Amino acid sequence: MNQKSESAITFISTTLLAAFAYTLIFFLVKFLACFSAAGKLPEIYNYPLIRISIYGSSFENSSSTISARISFLDSDSSEFAVFERSWNGLSLSMEFLTSSFCGKTVVFPYRIFAGVMESENFDFSKKQEISRRGTKLFHYFNENGQCLLYGSRNSVQIKKSLYTLAQFALLSRMQPSSKFFDKRVLNFSGLKYGENYTVYTGFDGEIHLSKD
């Protein structure tokens, strides 16, 4: 092996090692920041998170489509972001990411996706195998270093603390579940078309669905 090849291998190895070290340090800083962020959150056990209304489904050209309206809510149930669209499939599900620190577990909607009809009733499951496709949701409630979930009109400190926890959850999504991070899925296949339903959560990590 000539000197030029050895130099190239050394450069590549050094670059990869530096990238790995930077990633590790970056993740560690984000991880440690979550303890302080969670400590600043109040003890809240029930607040509105998402409102969903499924318009209906259609089938044409050998393809099924389901349409819905999704609203993001603050703590007094006011909408601060809304979108409507259709997905290819027969039913809808939503995936959530969680961050757990200092005895608090915060739930963040990650994406909504379509699939086959699985049940007449919605099903909450941590183990459900899901497709990687879907509509990502984080940009609807995270902006300028602040997370608007729990309340768009709450203090900047709370919004920044939620943002810190949301970023950790997003960074951890490719990792296995742990006591600090988890994935959960809520299936909407049992919802009645045209009716409004609200997803509630709290800083205890609980999630439940209620008809408005």
User: Residue 58: is it exposed, middle or buried by C-beta count within 10 angstroms (0-12/13-18/19+)?
Assistant: exposed
Q: What is the mean pLDDT of residues 153-178?
A: 91
Exposed/middle/buried for residue 90 (C-beta within 10 Å: 0-12, 13-18, 19+) = middle
C-alpha 27, offset from chain centre: 18
pLDDT value for 194 = 93
Task: Look at residues 140, 47, 129 and name the one whose alpha carbon lies nearest to residue 95.
Answer: 129
Helices (H), the chain: 3-39, 138-141, 156-171
Q: What is the pLDDT of residues 108-134, one digit of tens each?
A: 999 999 875 444 344 444 444 444 578
Q: Quick: pLDDT tens for 57-107.
A: 777 666 788 999 999 998 888 899 999 999 988 889 999 999 999 999 999
What pLDDT shows up at residue 128? 43
**What letter represents residue 138's amino acid?**
F
Per-residue pLDDT at 178 exceeds 50: yes
> Between these two residues, 56 and 44, which has the higher pLDDT value?
44
